[in-house]
Amino acid sequence: MSFEIKLPLFEGPFDLLLFFIERDELNIYDIPIAKVTNDFLDYLRQLEEMNIEAASEFILVAATLMRIKAKMLLPRPELDEQGNEIDPREELVQRLLEYKKYKSVVSELMRMEEERSLMEARGNLLRELKKLSETTNVEAELQDLDLYKLLKVYQKAIKRFEAEQNKPIHSVAMLPFTIEEKKEYILQLVAEESRVSFEKIISLEPNRIALIFNFLAILELLQLGELSLQIGEGFNNFWISPAPAKEAPVAG
């Protein structure tokens, strides 16, 4: 015949002490420390026999109980500054009272937590849509479809497709010129002919991009002092020629 021994589990050492006090109907303000200490140590021994490792906080409280018990056995009591006898159990009693106060509201807090967990916050759209899709009868919805509804859906799809097709497309093209290349080109023309009109430069490369690059190259060369400019005939015409050589400074 087999039998099983079950030990009550406690949330902490103070929970175990309160159990002893309530079980034996002891006065929490006048704890019989010897009896409570023996019961506490006996519980720890039973844990050892069942190969259950006691938490360090239980061992700490056991040591505290034994220290209090030893102090109460001493013939000379401790006195405070006013000469009153210090009860070694006072700190333990205060901590037990605080724990008892906390424990009295734990059940109410657990009830409130359980009620709150049953409430579901609004605003989780994806979860709500998933729940609706699971409960929706698709076959019943298909039965309500008619030709008019299908045509309306088709019309919306066509309009959306046309809008996508008519979106403006921006393409980026690599320009076939650089300012540096055009600067070299302008300097070469001026070196060959000594004086070149802007109209001739346009006629040599009659396209808008080349005109812009040539004009910007001329402006840079003028700024660098490598060209000189003379206004010619016609509203938009001018002549470019090499810049005059700078005279060397006369030594004094």
pLDDT tens digit sequence for 221-235: 888 888 888 876 655
Output the pLDDT for position 227: 87
Residue 64 has what pLDDT? 82
Residues 77-115: tens digit of each pLDDT? 777 777 777 777 888 888 888 888 877 777 777 788 777
Q: Which CATH number describes the domain made up of 179-242?
A: 1.10.10.580
- How far is the C-alpha of 91 from the C-alpha of 201, rounded, in Å? 104
Residue 135 Cα to chain centre, angstroms:
34
For residue 194, the one-letter residue type is S
Compute φ and ψ for 121, nearest 5 degrees: -70, 145
Q: Write the CB contacts of 133 (distance below 8 Å, at least 6 apart in sequence).
A: none
Whether residue 170 is predicted with pLDDT greater than 80 in this model: the reply is: no
Q: Which two tokens stand for residue 2?
A: 């087999």
Q: What is the pLDDT of residue 95?
A: 84
The pLDDT score that the predictor gives to residue 6 is 40
Partnered with residue 227 across adjacent β-strands are 242
Which of the four pLDDT bands, split at 50, 70 and 90, describes residue 17? confident
3-class DSSP state for residue 110?
helix
**For helices 90-117 and 13-23, what crossing angle results, to 10°?**
100
Residue 1: its pLDDT value, please?
34
Residue 51 confidence (pLDDT): 58
Give residue 192's pLDDT band: very low, low, confident or very high (50, 70, 90).
Answer: confident
Closest CA to 187 of 231, 215, 221: 221
How far apart are alpha carbons 174 and 118 in whole angstroms?
64
85 strand-pairing partners? 79
Which comes out higher in pLDDT, residue 144 or 160? 160
Confidence of residue 139 (pLDDT cuts 50, 70, 90): low
Which whole-number Å values give the CA distances from 29 to 45, 76, 91, 122, 240, in the listed order?
A: 27, 22, 11, 50, 112
Q: Name the most confidently modeled range: 133-142, 169-178, 219-228.
A: 219-228
C-alpha atoms less than 13 angstroms from C-alpha of 52 in its C-beta half-sphere: 14
DSSP 188-208: HHHHHHS-EEHHHHHHHS-SH
Alpha-carbon distance of 38 to 58, in angstroms, equals: 14
Within 10 A of 202 (CB to CB), how many other CB atoms are there? 16
Which residues is 242 bridged to in the sheet? 227
The pLDDT-based confidence of 200 (bands split at 50, 70, 90) is: confident
* pLDDT reported for residue 241: 85
Q: Closest by alpha carbon to 12, among 31, 40, 35?
A: 40
What does the alpha-carbon distance between residue 215 and residue 219 come to, in Å, rounded to a whole number? 6
> Any residues with CB less than 8 A from the CB of 96 and at least 6 apart, and which?
14, 17, 18, 21, 28
Whether residue 28 is predicted with pLDDT greater than 50 in this model: the reply is yes
Long-range CB pairs of 47-50, under 8 A, 24+ apart, other chains included: 47/7, 50/5, 50/7
Domain layout of the chain by residue ranges: 13-117, 179-242
Torsion of CA 82, 88, 92, 95, to 10 degrees: 10
Mean pLDDT of the chain: 76
